[in-house]
Structure 1
Amino acid sequence: MAEAHQAVAFQFTVTPEGFDLRLSREALKHIYLSGIAAWKKRLTRLKNTFLTGVYPATPSSWLVVVMTTVGSLYCQVDLSMGLISHIRQCLPSSRYLSFQNRTLLSATLFSTGVWISGILIFRQTLKLLLSYQGWMFEPHGKMSRGTKVWAAVMKVMTGHKPMLYSFQSALPKLPVPSVQATIHRQYLESVRPLLDDAQFSKMEVLAQDFQNYTAPRLQKYLVLKSWWATNYVSDWWEEYIYLRGRGPLMVNSNYYAMDFLYVTPTSVQAARAGNSVHAILLYRRRLDREEISPVKLLGLVPMCSSQMERMFNTTRIPGKETDILQHLVDSKHVAVYHRGRFYKLWLYYSGRLLGPRDLELQFQRILDDPSVPQPGEEKLAALTAGDRVPWAEARARFFGSGKNKVSLEAIERAAFFVVLDEEEHCFHRDQEDSLDCYAKSLLHGRCYDRWFDKSFTLIVYKNGKLGANAEHAWADAPIIGHLWEFMLATDTFQLGYSEGGHCCGEPNLGLAPPQRLQWDISEECRMAIDGSYGVAQVLADDVDFHCFLFTDFGKGRIKRCRTSPDAFIQIALQLAHFHDKGRFCLTYEASMTRLFREGRTETVRSCTSESTAFVRSMADPAQSRCERLRLFKLAAEKHQLMYRLAMTGAGIDRHLFCLYLVSRYLGVESPFLAQVLSEPWRLSTSQTPQQQIRMFDLEKFSDYVSAGGGFGPVADDGYGVSYMIGGENLITFHISSKFSSPETDSRRFGRHLRQALLDIAGLFDAPPNKVPN
């Protein structure tokens, strides 16, 4: 095998004449190029760290300051007002430094001090500007004079070609809300519509006791942590919500993303894989070089980019008590799964990234490989789909040495995981359940053909359709969404395909084929694999998924109703749930706190007194249209206020979560916190972001809309709902529940949701004197 010989840099044998040394020039060339590439990356990171640290200043701006200062001295003008002379006097005398050289050095030191001072002043000023949140609470289209001035200053201060992490040190810290605001202003208010008078009175007593006697001590520790840590929530959230979870990641934690809804650029599986992987690697290169612009709200306010650091080369490693996230600085290969076999595919040749056509060749070689899986290999990935403790034990026992260790490391140290799926999935207009099957395949597949521990798995179906399954601990869905938008747009609008559906260009036929990973899986290990597979299969079979397109209207018609699209949909979800179950429930809507450094998410409790009043009015035939509209507007305004409070650090659930953790650390029992943390979220919702980066005009290319993504049910007797507002006339919904619950039915909920959207829109369309049913 040619690739085996190239892998050896030198060989030697002992002969009667001495040593016979043979060097492989090709191998040495690759070693040399690999070293050069590694040093280039180190230097690029060093340069980027410096440029990010001095933003918005640049080395050229430092040179301008130095030249201005030195030039002024030659013109007999002392801009330093005597400081340069003082610095010159403080310099140690030396026969190597003349008076002129000492003056020049003093001027350089003074100029550097001025330059650094300017940077620090800019950073503090920007931090103060970013701490202003009044813009978010102003009525839509009505901006105060103060906010207009703030926006103008922000535009000037953030518009100078920022790098990805340029604003990180200027972002404010997430504030710790007051206990009184958390308990009375929001928590008790949020549970009031869910409790009867006796239950609410009992909760009020528990809350008051907690506020008076327990909370002050716990709050002091949180405030102290907020001073010391970059973010008082994120590290605990990652560890206790994600990494310490001992149940399966599949369905319970991981989520998925879908391909274009109506368009498939090519039906050639290897070609779609080649273009997509190359596009993803172009994104990784831009990420490494920090050439990606930070996401900004309104084009002005930068959001935290720290979650993007672990997008690639990251794997969740199982442990008996807690998992860890293994993140590597770089990885030069991807791991590939096809028909029960695992492969290691190198991404570089002669120090250069493989082109799309080269990658297509490599993927085609895997597809054409006639070999069969080794014993135990086919369902090996089921270990990542089952409970975490059995996987941790099996990993330590069966994968600690030999070829199993080498092969497992090849997967865990890969940039990401690729699956060349044997199935075909896409949206068929004439098949009602086509998106349901597509969603279930992406969420759990066959329970053994996804590596659920990788930061994300790229799934390429036999018909050229794409999808992704992402691990949740390292980042939230908008981060993967950013990569996904870049990949889809680059694949279609920049890389493109030939007339035959293949990647553009000519392949390098001299590339060594992908390396087949070797395993030695014992009978005991196979029993562990079968055990995890059994757990995962039961979980997957219980998932009731329904994904549907709502095409009657989209954000265009909603905005004509003069309300927030998100508020409109959230109120519709409350109406749908009431029709589905005949009662209200605690509702979770994910909001983001990335306006703060290392911010992740916060909860918006969408079931409010205002929304329940509106829902009840819709069920009361005696209520007039005008009254229903009034109640709807109150509910929408309340929802927008709750969402804005969550985004600006005034949410309650992360605060309560951290208070609970401090109480556990201190050994303090709190009936109030125990009750709060035990309340189930029977309706868990999330909006998938759209057009975070505008690489093409969605209005012009309306068919190139993604179907968004979704997640599994959070509660055994509840619903998980993800939605994406795909344009002026499209909203995509992903609804999950469990077949085992007699209370839920995803299709039934979908019907109720569709009708709820139409009923609410009908309020705005009905004649003034008509009372809708």
Structure 2
Amino acid sequence: MPIAFVHSTNPAEALLTPEPIRLPRLPIPDLHSTLQKYVQSLIPFLRDQEIREGVPFEAAIRERFKWAAELEGGIGSDCQKRLIELDKQSPRNWLDDNFWIKKAYHEWRAPLIVNSNWWLAFYNDDTVPRHVVDGQEAQGLSGITFWQVRRAAWMVYRVLDFKDKLEQQEIYPLTTRTGLWFRNTVEQMFYTCRIPQHNCDALSPQPTHTHPNARKIVLMIDDHIYAIEVYRPDGSLVNPSEIEHRMLEAVRDFDERARSGERVVPVGILTADERDIWASNFEHLRSLSLNNARILETIQQSIFAVSLDAHTLGQSSGATGTPAEVNKHLHNIRSSIDGRNRWFDKAITLIVESNTRAGAMGEHSPCDALVPSIVMEYAIVQPIDDNTFIPMQDVARARSSSVDRVDGWERLDFDVDARMRIACQGALGRAKAIIADSDDAVYWFNDFGSDWIKNEARLSPDAFVQMALQLAWYKTRGEFTAVYETVLTRLFDRGRTETIRSYTEDSRAWILSMMGISASVKRRHELLRRAIQTHTKLTREAAAGRGIDRHLLGLRLMLLSGERASLFDDSLFARSQTWKLSTSGLSAGHLFRGTGFGAPCSDGYGINYLIAPDMVKFCVESKFSCPLTSTVHFHTAVAESMLDMQALCTEVALFPSHL
């Protein structure tokens, strides 16, 4: 079943609530508690250091506790007071109002493609004829099929319908805490674009609802850019058939230009470049003409983007539904063939291939991927309603008729010079290199899912999967690493995320027991349960605003020039935050074929997983250039680890008295 949407029983009554619910402010954790938890999180690293480097554990841990005490009694206390004062001056949230987006995203200069943007591949729409899905559709214009446009139009309508229902409080009403947090978060994903700037990017200011650009989406077709009006001047949503008609007009315009031999400079590829390079090119592009400045503003202020690809990546490589075909689908959503026909700065882009395969890709800084995934589930849970469109045969007949031309769309053609042409060529080459190095694939583990983990093993599904990932890492690398897991702080106003430090003393002890021969089955099971209990405790603390990594970030940023702290200068401080296993759970993923995000470390993995009742989808990205990583080999190790854990739990359940 897809995610259930929270409906208000009486939207009008919700609007008249005299005392609206308010979310509490994100707390600043207690300084002593954070420092003690932090030192405790170093224990597995120090245990390993003792074995590998001969550094005595007891002496090393005492030294860290001493540094923590010095920090707490000295400059750390001043930093805590400064952070509290900053919180008092912050409108909503000491973290999000001041430095989270900047430090986590906008100061990062790496290209967004693969490295930062998330991607999500949808299941096919069952109403689309089979021959279309199989790539045998001939009806279309210059590689863009009519069914492709129809599915795109339907998804656009459904996303906008969700947005309107949310604003009208028909779903996620403001009378619930979930509704309040969700609405505040969703507001960040529409009408938003990342703006390249030197050293640190920014988010574009959102237009007023009456601004003409707030009625538009941006449509990209083979690097041609169009604006499509999806709301009328009175604010009412255009119906699906009319959205399709307007998109078809843009497709027809593209077809006429393509047939005449016209080729546009692929300006969108500049958004795939290193951020400071793009910032320089952005300034030059905007300065070339008032027309360019207007187009950039339209793209930034539009509701979201849509890309129609005149291809289906990997169509001939295998039948629909094979692992190879699914992975090719993921690759196209992630980056397209070569990074073209995308505007990577846009917060949300719907992507539809010629055979109607579809997905979404987004810029990460406005909101975290769970939020758009909920919107996308709403968009695709209902298949195309044929009753809202004219028969497909009539679309084909009418495509060449000038009588049926409509308004509500426009070309967005940039003025370019020689510098821009050269810049696009350079950006294209760099994007191709990033794509070629991305070892990205999904593995559908079908042996069991959350039902077995909860009902038979009686364990937390998320913690179970986290342990499997750590065991798989050790199997493939023979060492331990810091593990990052995302948890939402949605209990709080403008809450974003906190880190769960999943690698713990207990997870380390359990993994060593699994890799050795001396521990009994009973002992291994006891250690597994303890590791999962510890992970669950850390998850609850982080979700409740009592995590440590955001607080540590805030404390370090409160240091004045010349102020130092031994605890922060310690090499383990950086090592314990070098997330070679960067992980995040999304949802059950009933409507998603796969998802993903890039590995933050060149010798690590970026892992997004979807735990369904009867399966788990492991979506893994690493780098081909690293000899230490292999997505396929890691998939194999994860599957082995999951089955090892099932066998362990099953043996304990079946033969408790014999162990």
Please say whether Structure 1 and Structure 2 have the same fold, judged by a TM-score greater than 0.5. yes
**TM-superposed deviation, 1:428:** 5.0
Return the letter of the residue paired with 2:207.
L
Q: Does 1:234 align with 2:96?
A: yes
Contact 2:198/2:276 (<8 A) preserved = yes
How many pairs align?
Answer: 596
For the residue of structure 1 that corresponds to 2:609, the secondary structure is strand
Q: Deviations over 1:519-560 (max 9, x none)?
A: 221111112222322332222221111211111111111112
What is the alpha-carbon distance in structure 2 between the residues aligned to residue 312 and residue 576 of structure 1? 38
**TM-superposed deviation, 1:338:** 0.9
What is the alpha-carbon distance in structure 2 between the residues aligned to residue 284 and residue 500 of structure 1? 28
Distance 1:286 1:654, change over 3 A: same
**TM-superposed deviation, 1:272:** 0.2
The corresponding residue for 2:585 is 687
Distance 1:501 1:645, change over 3 A: farther
Match of 1:725 among 611, 615, 621: 611
Return the letter of the residue paired with 1:634.
R
Q: Deviations over 1:406-452 (max 9, x none)?
A: 33333222211110012225895673322222222212222122101
* TM-score (ref. length: structure 1): 0.72
Return the letter of the residue paired with 2:581.
L
The corresponding residue for 1:741 is 626
Alignment of 1:469-548 (within 5 A): 469-492=361-384, 509-512=404-407, 514-548=409-443
**TM-superposed deviation, 1:206:** 3.6
The corresponding residue for 1:399 is 286
Alignment of 1:396-475 (within 5 A): 396-400=283-287, 401-424=289-312, 428=319, 431-445=322-336, 446-475=338-367
For the residue of structure 1 that corresponds to 2:303, the secondary structure is coil
What is the alpha-carbon distance in structure 1 between the residues aligned to residue 340 and residue 376 of structure 2? 24
Distance 1:411 1:390, change over 3 A: same
Alignment of 1:278-677 (within 5 A): 278-294=157-173, 303=181, 305-326=183-204, 327-330=206-209, 331-348=214-231, 351=234, 352-368=236-252, 369-372=255-258, 377-400=264-287, 401-424=289-312, 428=319, 431-445=322-336, 446-492=338-384, 509-512=404-407, 514-560=409-455, 561-663=457-559, 665-674=560-569, 675=571, 676-677=573-574
Q: Deviations over 1:667-702 (max 9, x none)?
A: 4223422442464100000001348xxxxxxxxxxx
What is the alpha-carbon distance in structure 2 between the residues aligned to residue 278 and residue 171 of structure 1? 31
Return the letter of the residue paired with 2:567.
F
**TM-superposed deviation, 1:284:** 2.4
Q: Does 1:248 align with 2:111?
A: yes
Deviates more, 1:681-690 or 1:435-444: 435-444
What is the alpha-carbon distance in structure 2 between the residues aligned to residue 621 and residue 648 of structure 1? 39
**TM-superposed deviation, 1:475:** 0.7
What is the alpha-carbon distance in structure 1 between the residues aligned to residue 467 and residue 586 of structure 2? 17
Q: Deviations over 1:331-361 (max 9, x none)?
A: 1111111123111222245744322122222
For the residue of structure 2 that corresponds to 1:172, the secondary structure is coil
What is the alpha-carbon distance in structure 2 between the residues aligned to residue 55 and residue 239 of structure 1? 37
What is the alpha-carbon distance in structure 1 between the residues aligned to residue 357 and residue 175 of structure 2? 31
What is the alpha-carbon distance in structure 2 between the residues aligned to residue 302 and residue 620 of structure 1? 49
**TM-superposed deviation, 1:456:** 0.7
What is the alpha-carbon distance in structure 1 between the residues aligned to residue 124 and residue 224 of structure 2? 30
What is the alpha-carbon distance in structure 2 between the residues aligned to residue 603 and residue 541 of structure 1? 30
The corresponding residue for 1:217 is 78
Contact 1:625/1:768 (<8 A) preserved = no
For the residue of structure 1 that corresponds to 2:226, the secondary structure is strand
Distance 1:428 1:176, change over 3 A: farther
**TM-superposed deviation, 1:396:** 1.5
Match of 1:710 among 593, 596, 607: 596
Contact 2:580/2:601 (<8 A) preserved = yes
What is the alpha-carbon distance in structure 1 between the residues aligned to residue 658 and residue 150 of structure 2? 57
**TM-superposed deviation, 1:365:** 3.2
Match of 2:644 among 737, 752, 759: 759
Q: Deviations over 1:702-749 (max 9, x none)?
A: xx63235210111111111100113x2121110011111111111100
What is the alpha-carbon distance in structure 1 between the residues aligned to residue 320 and residue 298 of structure 2? 41
Contact 2:485/2:584 (<8 A) preserved = yes
Deviates more, 1:647-656 or 1:425-434: 425-434
Contact 2:250/2:410 (<8 A) preserved = no
Distance 1:430 1:387, change over 3 A: closer
Distance 1:375 1:473, change over 3 A: farther
Distance 1:617 1:325, change over 3 A: same
Distance 1:519 1:736, change over 3 A: same
Deviates more, 1:188-197 or 1:574-583: 188-197
Distance 1:413 1:219, change over 3 A: same
Contact 1:558/1:565 (<8 A) preserved = yes
Q: Does 1:56 align with 2:17?
A: yes
* TM-score (ref. length: structure 2): 0.84
Q: Deviations over 1:293-352 (max 9, x none)?
A: 15999x989745422222211111111132221122331111111123111222245744
Contact 1:219/1:659 (<8 A) preserved = yes
Return the letter of the residue paired with 1:745.
S
Alignment of 1:251-266 (within 5 A): 251-260=114-123, 263=126, 265=128
Return the letter of the residue paired with 2:38.
Y
Match of 2:40 among 189, 211, 215: 189
Contact 2:224/2:264 (<8 A) preserved = yes
Q: CA RMSD in A?
A: 3.1
Contact 2:597/2:608 (<8 A) preserved = yes
What is the alpha-carbon distance in structure 1 between the residues aligned to residue 96 and residue 427 of structure 2? 30
Q: Does 1:207 align with 2:68?
A: yes
**TM-superposed deviation, 1:567:** 0.8
**TM-superposed deviation, 1:204:** 4.1
For the residue of structure 1 that corresponds to 2:592, the secondary structure is coil
**TM-superposed deviation, 1:247:** 1.9
The corresponding residue for 1:7 is none
**TM-superposed deviation, 1:480:** 0.6
Return the letter of the residue paired with 1:549.
W
What is the alpha-carbon distance in structure 2 between the residues aligned to residue 300 and residue 540 of structure 1? 37
User: Structure 1, unaligned stretches of length 5 or more?
Assistant: 1-47, 58-118, 120-165, 692-703
Distance 1:374 1:188, change over 3 A: farther
For the residue of structure 1 that corresponds to 2:495, the secondary structure is coil
Distance 1:243 1:300, change over 3 A: closer
User: Structure 2, unaligned stretches of length 5 or more?
Assistant: 1-10, 133-146
**TM-superposed deviation, 1:193:** 1.0
Asked which structure has the greater CA Rg, the reply is: 1
Contact 1:347/1:353 (<8 A) preserved = yes
